[in-house]
Chain A
Amino acid sequence: MDLIYLAIAAIFVNNILLAQYLGNCPFCGVSKRINTSIGMAAAVIFVATLASMFTWGAYYYILEPYDLEFIMTLTFILIIAALVQFVEIFMKKQSKGLYNSLGIYLPLITTNCAVMGIALLNITHEFGFVDMLVFSFASATGFGLAIVLFAGVRERLLLSPVPRAMQGTAIALVTAGIMSLAFLGFAGMAQ
């Protein structure tokens, strides 16, 4: 049951985008169309879950035993970058269509603060392996949910009379703020 609460909290209450406000770049940059936002969401879910497993392992089996926690950020950057490169090589061979469709998104995830943020939060919350896995997957799903919903709103915004000064990123940021407020309504469902 705790795992379900953990997942709900990660997806809705502590949404990595709308509550923690991590991963803002792709949130604004890749949310103009639902199709592309779904691609980005899928890539983040895959990479974030995989990266969390490796960073969690590196922390508890390499850094902590040797009191090297202070190089955690550097280590995580190295691991995530290598992992993304590996995923890219693997996908190019095994799934060319997906590789082509992700295009530049995949390398961009290397420096995605949402992925890095999830990896760091796993350590901050001192999760066990299973908790870490659920939290990572759920947080990335929360990212995906937010970006897809936001893309839907932005598509609808195109149909609406937006004052010229507010068009584009300006109205997107205002809308993101309102969405954050809306997600506050989930507070109380889980911690």
Chain B
Amino acid sequence: MLLPVLVLTGIGVVAAVGLGIAARVFYVKEDPRIKGVLDILPGANCGGCGFAGCSACAEAIVRGEAEANACVVGQTEVAQEVALYLGMAPVGSEPRIACPDCQGGIRATRKYEYAGFDDCRAAVLYFQGHLICYHGCLGLGTCVKSCQFGAITMGEHGLPKFNPDLCVGCGACARNCPKGIISLISEKTKILHWNQYTECLAPCRQKCPAQINIPKYIQHIKRGEYEQALLTIKERNPMPLSIGRVCPEPCALACRRTINDEPVAINYLKRFVADWEMNSGKRLHIPVGPSTGKRVAVVGGGPGGLSAAFYLRRLGHDVTIYDKMPALGGMLRYGIPEYRLPKKVLDWEIEGILNLGITATTGVEFGKDFNMEFLRAKGFDAIFIAVGAWREQELKMEGTDLHGVYSGIAFLEQLHSGRDVSVGRHVVVIGGGNTAIDAARSSLRMQAETVTIVYRRSRDEMPANPAEIVAAEEENVKFRFLSAPLEIIGEGGHVTGLKIQGMKLGDPDPSGRRRPVAIEGSEEMIECDTIIQAVGQSPNLDFLSFDGQPNLQVTRRNTIDASEDTLQTDLPYVFTGGDCFTGPALVVDAIAAGRFAARSIHYYLMEGRIPPIEDRQKGFIEESLHKSIAGVPTRSRVHEPVVSLEDRLGTFTEVEGTIDQEDARYESQRCLNCGIYCYDHDLELQRLAEGSSDNLEIQRK
């Protein structure tokens, strides 16, 4: 009995000594936390985390290359244990869930029925798919079979439905989808992603500067899921209350329903859900990422700055906004009149943004009270400059210094600051943009008897929002088109009239608009006691001349110079966006710039480099331009309630109201929920016309 015991013990000792020596010889210095995390992980080695084995996953987690919830098998309990072990906040792990890009729409024509195939991959391998649409979901349910967690089911109309509560983000469905229309989405991804040409983008999404997933939020409204609709909007636009009131809807111009009847009232729907939140008395929970320990200063509290602050905060950065005005909002507060955007609405919206944990310091001017050196000394890792375009261009003519002559921006800013400002009985506004219209309509509300807008081009060339022009006409603002100001006439130091000259339209100028040409001998006088000049604006970059301020490059258009692809200036830690980068543009453009800057700043702070966006969608995707949408019945769009003309004048009460729930439901049903190829019958007709009637051959090519 002794011998076998001795032999086994001997072999054991030899093995132990051998392993001991091996452990010393082949010693690998390893972070002990890796083993700690490895011990917590369930050791299934399934590969669902995207790493080669659990030890590789543990290494990635410890190095910060993966989230604490990277293990898809362990789910929440393991994630929390890992987070606790590594000293991270338990909520610090950000879940990723699978989402399909194809919304379905009214499905493109089915070309073949595949007897024997019930798998998308097989269908793609054999015929490259069986719908005319090359982007969309084939609906054969490969993703359903791939999901080990029962999170996907086939819904109506052959589209998969995803249950976010069951999805663990393993990515099996995304790997197995042959069309690549399923992706793993986290809150961070939603913020950092920018549209690409390779995506199946509905025309409205292509035209929206903020890139809001319009079809998605409208479908949520259709189903009565207002919270989901609003969260979808806030993925790309933190100010739906304001934008829902002031946006000229470039998206609606591209709406495919315009082929049939009228565009979907997209902005009314946005305003409806935004107002639904405000009127509900409670705020939706907006997820904020785990703290990164990085600090960002945002200079300018307008829509661009607020948008950047909102998304930077959601990405986990510590943000402070600095603004020269007493209250945040920028041009939304000081440029847009109360009757279009009530201040209490704007206040509620800004409060929601600041509630995420953003600090704001107002009443301090960049370049006077503080500068970039000051911000760097305070420990800010990056600076975002969004100071807008507050400098008004002035007409070069006699009489601009007379009493009763205002600049449009200054006029509106004084009005909305509550400072003493008054107009006379007869007001003339020079210009054709939104500022001119706002100044004219505000003057009417300040008891002016007549208000005349003088514009040197025709009505078609006016850059103001068409809806605003119509509203001004309804309120009896007079228009003098094709008229250019020549001289301001005054008496006793006060303005008494404006001398104008008739114009005619000549050849188009570089902007594409026809150039006005003066008509000799057509001068005339308009009698007035107030003149408001609103002929253009540009950024006020005086702060650049402040002593000790690092220099930023300025373009010939007097805007801050920066990379279009990153918004990074020649100082690597300084970014810019909005009107001070592009010149005057829409509010929604500034909102978009804020998110884009947040993306760049995040990458700059976290990775030290800003990855370029591949196939970034800038222009319209040609395949989405259709000539017909067969089978869609005509249905007129809803109209929002407006205050009667009598009740408008003499008061700054909000003119336009919000549509009710019934109208919102009706309008949401008008949305075709389209992608690039839905309804593409034209393409098919074109192929037939070219004699390629053999569909099979076409598909095989």
Q: Which of B4, B43, B142 sits near A104, CB closer than 8 Å? A: B43
Known A66-B7, A75-B7, A93-B28: A101·B53 in contact at CB below 8 Å: yes
Known A100-B52, A159-B121: A79·B45 in contact at CB below 8 Å: no
A44–chain B nearest beta-carbon distance, Å: 15
Q: Which residues of B contact A94 (CB under 8 A)?
A: 26
Q: Which residues of A contact B606 (CB under 8 A)?
A: none
B7:A103 contact, CB within 8 angstroms: no
A:43-94 near B, CB below 8 Å: 58, 62-63, 66, 68, 70-71, 74-75, 78-79, 81-82, 85-86, 89-90, 92-94
Q: Which residues of B contact A81 (CB under 8 A)?
A: 15
Q: Which residues of A contact B16 (CB under 8 A)?
A: 82
A92:B7 contact, CB within 8 angstroms: no
Q: Which residues of A contact B145 (CB under 8 A)?
A: 158
Distance, CA A35 to CA B248, complexed state (A):
54
Is B439's CB within 8 Å of the partner chain A?
no
B11:A103 contact, CB within 8 angstroms: no
Known A92-B26, A158-B119: A74·B55 in contact at CB below 8 Å: no
A62:B7 contact, CB within 8 angstroms: yes
Q: Which residues of B contact A102 (CB under 8 A)?
A: 53
Q: Mask for B41-77, Cβ within 8 A of A = 1, else 0?
A: 0011101000111111001000000000000000000
Is A161's CB within 8 Å of the partner chain B?
yes
Q: Which of A68, A71, A100, A161 sits near B55, CB closer than 8 Å? A: A100
Is A36's CB within 8 Å of the partner chain B?
yes
Q: Which residues of A contact B119 (CB under 8 A)?
A: 158-160
Q: Which residues of B contact A159 (CB under 8 A)?
A: 119, 121-122
A86:B4 contact, CB within 8 angstroms: no
Distance, CA A33 to CA B121, complexed state (A):
16
B54:A103 contact, CB within 8 angstroms: yes
Q: Which residues of A contact B8 (CB under 8 A)?
A: 71, 74-75, 78
Distance, CA A42 to CA B675, complexed state (A):
47
Q: Which residues of A contact B121 (CB under 8 A)?
A: 159
Is B150's CB within 8 Å of the partner chain A?
no
Is A186's CB within 8 Å of the partner chain B?
no
**How many residues of A are counted as interface, with CB atoms below 8 angstroms from the partner's CB atoms?**
35
B176–chain A nearest beta-carbon distance, Å: 8
B:100-144 near A, CB below 8 Å: 118-119, 121-122, 142
A68:B19 contact, CB within 8 angstroms: no
B124–chain A nearest beta-carbon distance, Å: 11
Is A21's CB within 8 Å of the partner chain B?
no
Distance, CA A36 to CA B53, complexed state (A):
10
Distance, CA A79 to CA B19, complexed state (A):
11
Is A99's CB within 8 Å of the partner chain B?
yes
A:93-130 near B, CB below 8 Å: 93-94, 96-97, 99-105
Q: Which of B18, B22, B53, B118 sits near A100, CB closer than 8 Å? A: B53
Distance, CA A2 to CA B118, complexed state (A):
49
Q: Which residues of B contact A99 (CB under 8 A)?
A: 55
A76–chain B nearest beta-carbon distance, Å: 10
B18:A82 contact, CB within 8 angstroms: yes
Distance, CA A160 to CA B56, complexed state (A):
33
Q: Which residues of B contact A93 (CB under 8 A)?
A: 26-28
Q: Which of B12, B23, B43 sits near A89, CB closer than 8 Å? A: B23
Q: Which residues of A contact B698 (CB under 8 A)?
A: none
A100:B59 contact, CB within 8 angstroms: yes
B15:A82 contact, CB within 8 angstroms: yes
Distance, CA A105 to CA B47, complexed state (A):
12
Q: Which residues of A contact B467 (CB under 8 A)?
A: none
Give the nearest-CB partner of A107 in chain B: B43
A101:B19 contact, CB within 8 angstroms: no
B:1-49 near A, CB below 8 Å: 3-4, 7-8, 11-12, 15-16, 18-19, 22-23, 26-28, 43-45, 47
Q: Which residues of A contact B146 (CB under 8 A)?
A: 158
Distance, CA A185 to CA B221, complexed state (A):
63
A66:B19 contact, CB within 8 angstroms: no
Q: Which residues of B contact A105 (CB under 8 A)?
A: 45, 53
Known A89-B19, A92-B26: A100·B7 in contact at CB below 8 Å: no
A86:B45 contact, CB within 8 angstroms: no
Q: Which residues of A contact B47 (CB under 8 A)?
A: 33, 36
B18:A86 contact, CB within 8 angstroms: yes
Q: Which residues of A contact B27 (CB under 8 A)?
A: 93
A55–chain B nearest beta-carbon distance, Å: 11
Distance, CA A85 to CA B15, complexed state (A):
10
Q: Which of A68, A79, A92, A158 sits near B28, CB closer than 8 Å? A: A92
Distance, CA A153 to CA B22, complexed state (A):
40
A62–chain B nearest beta-carbon distance, Å: 6
B121–chain A nearest beta-carbon distance, Å: 6
Known A92-B26, A103-B45, A104-B43: A86·B19 in contact at CB below 8 Å: yes
B4:A68 contact, CB within 8 angstroms: yes
A71:B7 contact, CB within 8 angstroms: yes
Q: Which residues of A contact B59 (CB under 8 A)?
A: 100
Give the nearest-CB partner of B10 in chain A: A62
A162–chain B nearest beta-carbon distance, Å: 9
Known A62-B7, A78-B12: A85·B19 in contact at CB below 8 Å: yes
Distance, CA A10 to CA B378, complexed state (A):
73
B145–chain A nearest beta-carbon distance, Å: 6
A:110-152 near B, CB below 8 Å: none
A66:B3 contact, CB within 8 angstroms: yes
Q: Which residues of A contact B3 (CB under 8 A)?
A: 66, 68
Known A36-B47, A103-B45, A103-B52: A79·B11 in contact at CB below 8 Å: yes
Give the nearest-CB partner of B14 in chain A: A82
A90:B15 contact, CB within 8 angstroms: no
A89–chain B nearest beta-carbon distance, Å: 5
Give the nearest-CB partner of B5 in chain A: A71
A interface with B by C-beta (< 8 Å): 33, 36, 58, 62-63, 66, 68, 70-71, 74-75, 78-79, 81-82, 85-86, 89-90, 92-94, 96-97, 99-105, 158-161
A-B CB contact pairs (8 Å), 9 listed: A36-B47, A70-B4, A78-B11, A92-B28, A96-B28, A100-B59, A103-B53, A105-B45, A105-B53
Top 8 nearest A-B pairs by Cβ distance? A103-B53, A82-B15, A93-B26, A104-B45, A100-B56, A101-B52, A103-B45, A159-B119
Extra contacts, 16 of them, besides A78-B11, A158-B119 (Cβ < 8 A), are A62-B11, A66-B3, A66-B7, A68-B3, A71-B4, A79-B11, A81-B15, A85-B19, A86-B22, A89-B26, A94-B26, A99-B55, A100-B55, A100-B56, A101-B53, A104-B53
